[in-house]
């Protein structure tokens, strides 16, 4: 498990796979790399966003854009 991974440079993220890391905590940049990857399934991302719209809409902040809501 890696805590505080968001403080690591993105160049070090490949080490998670090499070390067979089971969990990565606080890794916003790592998470963004996954979700923004051209290999991330588009249909899965759409389903995730639809789930958020239906099941977590009450967590959106007033004035927040949909993009901000999904990111935060």
Tell whether 24 and 3 lie within a shared domain: yes
Residue 21: CB atoms within 10 A of its CB come to: 13
8 A C-beta contact, residue 1 and residue 27: no
Tell whether 28 and 2 lie within a shared domain: yes
Q: Any idea which residue has 């051209």 for tokens?
A: 38
Tell whether 35 and 11 lie within a shared domain: yes
How far apart CA 11 and CA 54 sit, in angstroms, is 36
Tell whether 27 and 59 lie within a shared domain: no
Residue 1 pLDDT level (bands cut at 50, 70, 90) = very low
Tokens of 55: 């099941």
Q: Any idea which residue has 């070390």 for tokens?
A: 19
How far apart CA 40 and CA 54 sit, in angstroms, is 22
Report pLDDT for 5.
58
Domain count of the fold of the chain? 2
pTM: 0.61
Please write the tens of the pLDDT for every residue from 3-61: 555 667 778 888 888 988 887 776 677 788 888 999 999 999 999 999 999 999 999 99
Tell whether 54 and 28 lie within a shared domain: no
Tell whether 46 and 70 lie within a shared domain: yes
Give the structural domain span for 12: 1-40
């Amino acid at each position: 498990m890696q805590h505080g991974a968001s403080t690591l440079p993105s160049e070090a993220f490949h080490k998670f796979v090499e070390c067979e890391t089971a969990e990565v905590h606080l890794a916003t940049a790592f998470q963004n790399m996954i979700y923004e990857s051209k290999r991330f399934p588009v249909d899965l991302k759409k389903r995730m966003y639809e789930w958020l719209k239906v099941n977590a809409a009450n967590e959106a902040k007033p004035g927040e854009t949909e993009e901000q809501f999904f990111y935060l």
